[in-house]
Structure 1
Amino acid sequence: MGKTIVITGAGDGLGRALARRFAADGETVVLLGRTLSKVQAVADEIGAPHFAIHCDVGDPDSVRAAFAEIAKRHPKIDVLINNAAIYEPFTLAEVRDDQITGQLTTNVAGPIFCSREALPLMAGGGHILNVSSESSHIKMPMLWLYAGTKTALEYMSDMWGNELAAQGVRVTVVRAGMMMDETKTGSSWPMDVSVRFATENAKVGLNLRERPISHYNSVTDAFRAVLDMPPDLHIGMVTLSGRKKA
């Protein structure tokens, strides 16, 4: 029997690639996203029985409403993938209030809200996969808040794994490197921000142009492998990075 898999941030990037992959594998995918038109487009593409629900993971009421809707159709879910995140560089002196609250609520509170609401639907066992980033251990200038949120997520995941083991719920962190696909033609940041980010990283020996980038579709293989682990085996963290082709 196929798994019921809930994916946050499923309208683009890795979330979209995961939705396509698991739908093709015969699983049932529930796509959550802050912009309903984006997740609905992916749901329409992959077809029934997969469906999209509007959900701003940083808003607890929105999360509660989304999981209440999921419960109407699927009283049991097997997997939650906390993928939604805000990724934006800035310095301490220039960071705006909305940038601070946006990253903290989406990247840290979001996985908490979603995992809390998913737990009652994971009775008898389930799997929470939290998407982290290589920036949690590579100290990239101007990315301190994003990296900090991902470091917090990794710590929480470790603690959740211990807390939820008796309920049969496994928790895995997938720490991924730079990813892209054919739809990503460049950064969505203002040009001056992108240039400063590259310049500041170059100063500490991180040449962003030379760092290898993996394809989203390749990364989905790791998620597939984690979910296919036998019940007597647990993987707390998977670390992925791009690799230059020979």
Structure 2
Amino acid sequence: MAKTIVITGAGDGLGRALARRFARDGETVVLLGRTLSKVQAVADEIGAPHFAIKCDVGNPDSVRAAFATIAQTHPKIDVLINNAGIFEPFTLGEVSDDQVISQITTNLAGPIFCAREALPLLRGGGQIINVTSEGVALKMPMLWLYAGTKAGLELVSDMWGRELESEGVRVTVVRAGQMFDETKTAPPWPQDVAIRFATENAKVGLNLRERPLSHYNSVTDAFRAVIDMPADLHIGTVALSAARR
């Protein structure tokens, strides 16, 4: 039986790849994104019954409205994939108020808001998949806040797993490595920031140009496997990293 899968940050990158994959697999996909035109373009590409909703995951009112809309046609959902995130390097001395607030609200508060509103639709057999990053383990220079929000999400996920077990909701973390597809462009950071980021990482032995990349389409296989696990199995964390071919 087809599953209903809600994906945040579904307008590009991994979120778009997941939407395309699950649509091909015959599931019903609900695409959430802060920029409606981006998620709508993906929804148009994959066609009905899939649909897009404008949703800023860091805004609780926006999340409430999105899940109220979902509930009108899907009173039961099977999977919530908290994929939306902000990735931006900076030092403590230079970080702005807006940068702190946007990363914490999107990367950590966002999955909390979404899971809270999705919970009534997930009870009795649903699943939450929270996407984190290998940056939690690598502790890359200038990514302390990004890694911190992802580490926090991993802890939250572990505790949700115990809390929600009696409600029939499984919680899994997918800790992802570096990914790409043919449309990926350079990050929209100032050039001096990008240079300092590469330089500081090289100092600790992380050469960004030499590190391997996985294709988004390959990574979707891991999500497929997690979703297809029998109900009597629980996967707490799946750690992915890119491999050289």
Partner of 2:85: 85
Q: Give me the whole-angstrom Cα distance separating, in 2, the residues matched to 1:190 and 1:14.
A: 24
Partner of 1:62: 62
Q: Give me the whole-angstrom Cα distance separating, in 1, the residues matched to 2:206 and 2:110.
A: 30
Q: Give me the whole-angstrom Cα distance separating, in 2, the residues matched to 1:126 and 1:204.
A: 41
Partner of 2:166: 166
Partner of 1:94: 94
Give the AA of the match of 1:153: L
Q: CA deviation at 1:124?
A: 1.4
Give the AA of the match of 2:110: G
Q: CA deviation at 1:201?
A: 0.3
Percent sequence identity is: 79
Q: CA deviation at 1:14?
A: 0.2
Q: CA deviation at 1:5?
A: 0.2
Q: Give me the whole-angstrom Cα distance separating, in 1, the residues matched to 2:108 and 2:7.
A: 16
Q: Give me the whole-angstrom Cα distance separating, in 1, the residues matched to 2:13 and 2:85.
A: 11
Secondary structure at the counterpart of residue 140 of structure 1: coil
Secondary structure at the counterpart of residue 88 of structure 1: coil
Secondary structure at the counterpart of residue 132 of structure 1: strand
Give the AA of the match of 1:112: I
Q: Give me the whole-angstrom Cα distance separating, in 1, the residues matched to 2:212 and 2:111.
A: 28
Partner of 2:74: 74
Give the AA of the match of 1:23: A
Partner of 2:152: 152
Q: Give me the whole-angstrom Cα distance separating, in 1, the residues matched to 2:56 and 2:125.
A: 26
Q: Which runs of 5+ in 2 are unaligned?
A: none
Give the AA of the match of 1:207: N
Give the AA of the match of 1:237: T
Q: Give me the whole-angstrom Cα distance separating, in 2, the residues matched to 1:15 and 1:96.
A: 27
Pairwise CA RMSD = 0.6
Q: Does 1:207 align with 2:207?
A: yes
Q: Give me the whole-angstrom Cα distance separating, in 2, the residues matched to 1:103 and 1:185.
A: 21
Q: Give me the whole-angstrom Cα distance separating, in 2, the residues matched to 1:123 and 1:92.
A: 41
Q: CA deviation at 1:125?
A: 1.6
Q: CA deviation at 1:122?
A: 1.2
Deviations 1:209-246 (A, max 9, x none): 1111100000000000000001111100000000010x
Deviations 1:181-201 (A, max 9, x none): 000132221211111100000
Secondary structure at the counterpart of residue 30 of structure 1: strand
Q: Give me the whole-angstrom Cα distance separating, in 1, the residues matched to 2:193 and 2:37.
A: 28
What are the within-5 Å matches in structure 2 for residues 119-198 of structure 1? 119-198=119-198
Q: Give me the whole-angstrom Cα distance separating, in 2, the residues matched to 1:244 and 1:188.
A: 26
Q: Give me the whole-angstrom Cα distance separating, in 2, the residues matched to 1:153 and 1:16.
A: 22
Q: Give me the whole-angstrom Cα distance separating, in 2, the residues matched to 1:22 and 1:188.
A: 29
Q: Give me the whole-angstrom Cα distance separating, in 2, the residues matched to 1:218 and 1:149.
A: 25
What are the within-5 Å matches in structure 2 for residues 9-20 of structure 1? 9-20=9-20
Q: Give me the whole-angstrom Cα distance separating, in 2, the residues matched to 1:219 and 1:176.
A: 8
Q: Does 1:112 align with 2:112?
A: yes
Q: Give me the whole-angstrom Cα distance separating, in 2, the residues matched to 1:42 and 1:192.
A: 33
Q: Give me the whole-angstrom Cα distance separating, in 2, the residues matched to 1:192 and 1:180.
A: 23
Q: Give me the whole-angstrom Cα distance separating, in 2, the residues matched to 1:190 and 1:11.
A: 23
Deviations 1:19-54 (A, max 9, x none): 000000000000000000000000000000000000
Q: Give me the whole-angstrom Cα distance separating, in 2, the residues matched to 1:102 and 1:37.
A: 21
Q: Which runs of 5+ in 1 are unaligned?
A: none
Secondary structure at the counterpart of residue 137 of structure 1: helix
Aligned residues: 245
Q: Give me the whole-angstrom Cα distance separating, in 1, the residues matched to 2:11 and 2:46.
A: 12
